[in-house]
Amino acid sequence: MRKFSLFISIIIILGIFTSCASTKTYKEQFASIDNMIKANDYAGAIATLEAAKGKYYTEKEKVVYFLDLGMLYHYNKQYKKSNELLTKAEYAIEELFTKNISRAAASMLLNDNVLEYSGEDYEDIYLNIFKALNYLELNQFDDAFVEIRRVNNKLNLLQDKYGDLASQYNASKDVNVKFEPGDTKFHNSALARYLSMLLYRTEGKLDDARIDKEKLQEAWRLQAQLYNFPKPELDTFLNQTDAAKLDCIVFTGLAPDKKANTLYIHTEKDLIIIAASAENPRGNQNLEALDAIEWPGVEKGYHFKFQLPYLEKRKSAVERVEVWVNDERRQVLKPVESIENIAIETFQIKKPLIYLKTIVRTVTKGLLSAEGKQEMEKSIDNPLLGFAARLATDMAVDATENADLRISRFFPKKALAGELQLTAGVYDVKLKYLGENGVVLYEDKRDDVILTKDDLNLIESYYLN
């Protein structure tokens, strides 16, 4: 009877851990939303998300919910509602990251999926860009300036905040390796500078606009790996003329998604070896060593599996964007910011911390699991029950080692910009999004656009395919 009860317990353990949702990220539910985005049906996407909030997002994913819905409201031109949600996201990100630092040592052995999601750094940065754009649409220039300054402030503090987190990890009793954050080359957003330059110029503060123009150009010189495309021509940008200036800022595609990379740990005496599985020319899987870390006290012969998140770029069908005025092509817009490049770059800061934390957790839990299996084998004399017990333990550990793949879904991939100087008046403007071989994918028509000499005549457009 005792053996039968043990067998039933093992089966229950298997069921619990293999179906456990708290340590795994699910994204299949967003397929219908993605189709709505492709069709520019932002109102439909909003209605679907709001109706399915409890189904699509857990309590630990409120930041993702606020970001997703805030961006969709922006695209749906409901700017006040968008700012309400993006502000909630910003406050939650700050609060949760502070909480993460304070509990870092105690949460060392917890999978990130069971913690509240505190946002990616690029999300925290670009939410202020879109809040600024919302305020511009609401004709609140001062508030737009505040949001742009917050971008610059966050960039100045980006490196330091992960130094604090690393210090807390190093204080954990479970750690026998040193945690250090990665480096970032991203310190200056050309898009934020571009918006700031437009605002200063509109207010007649040409010295401030000139400083932003120089900082914008500096982004290409000092961050060439992020701005790996020609910089826009700005030589005449601050020239005073009698013309009305039409400025266009356009967003295309979608920012990167998170994927999981499965890796393996093999132990030697006081050493762990990290390996990836790769297919050889014969079609068999070989383990390729990637890293070796001194690990005092570990014995040889253990093998564990774990996952790490990485950011993967999403494809866009858009090849170029043209500005047409009164049915005449006037300009091809130029890239001003690769949001996807910056998303991946800022992820590099915390990547070493995720890497080491995951390894510490995997090794610690794996060794405890091995000890548990040994104890179970001593108390079970039935080979079948012994096998089931070992299998249950291994599956329980593996089920808690899924990568945290949570991320917002609706930030754009790329920002483009351009300016036309026209005689003040009323114009019909079209932004044409062109794909391969010049096929028109989408036209954003703006009829009866009033251009005045001294105002900010800004058109924001987007096509997220």
Tell me, what's the pLDDT at 398? 57
DSSP secondary structure letters along 190-219? HHHHHHHHHHHHHTT-HHHHHHHHHHHHHH
Work out the end-to-end distance of the chain between its first and last CA atoms, rounded to an integer number of angstroms.
Answer: 61
Sheet holding 334-338, edge to edge: 334-338, 414-422, 244-252, 457-463
pLDDT digits (tens, 9 = 90+) for 200-219: 999 999 999 999 999 999 99
User: Sign of torsion, CA 69 74 77 81?
Assistant: positive
pLDDT, position 134? 99
The predicted structure's pLDDT at residue 23: 57
Q: What are the CA-CA distances from residue 336 to residues 94, 189, 248 (Å)?
A: 28, 9, 11
Q: What letter would DSSP give residue 61?
A: G
The predicted structure's pLDDT at residue 213:
97
Domain that holds residue 289: 2-463
What is the structure's pLDDT at 111?
85
CA distance 155 to 463: 27
Q: Dump pLDDT digits (tens) for 224-272.
A: 999 999 999 998 899 989 999 999 999 999 999 999 999 999 999 999 9
- DSSP per residue, 274-321: EEEEEE-TTS-EEEEEEEEEE-TTPPS--EEEEEEEEEEPPP----EE
d(CA 86, CA 2): 56
Say if CB 414 and CB 251 are below 8 A apart. yes
With DSSP H G I counted as helix, E B as strand and the rest as coil, what are the percentages for the chain, rounded to 5? 50, 20, 30
SS3 category, 12: helix
pLDDT at position 25, please?
A: 66
Number of domains in the chain: 1
User: Residue 194's closest CA among 227, 220, 217?
Assistant: 217
pTM of the model: 0.88
Query: Residue 400 has what pLDDT?
Result: 64
Q: Which residue has the tokens 């029950």?
A: 385
Q: What is the pLDDT of residue 11?
A: 45
What CA–CA distances, in Å, run from 97 to 43, 212, 258?
31, 30, 19
User: In this predicted structure, what is the pLDDT of residue 108?
Assistant: 77
Amino acid at 320: R
**43-52 contacts, C-beta under 8 A, 24 or more apart:** 43/76, 45/72, 46/72, 46/73, 46/76
- Cβ neighbours of 448 (radius 10 Å): 8
Instruction: List, for the chain, all residue ranges whose pLDDT scores fall below the cut of 50.
Output: 1-21, 386-391
pLDDT at position 366 is: 83
| Angle value at C-alpha 352, between 347 and 354, nearest 5 degrees | 80
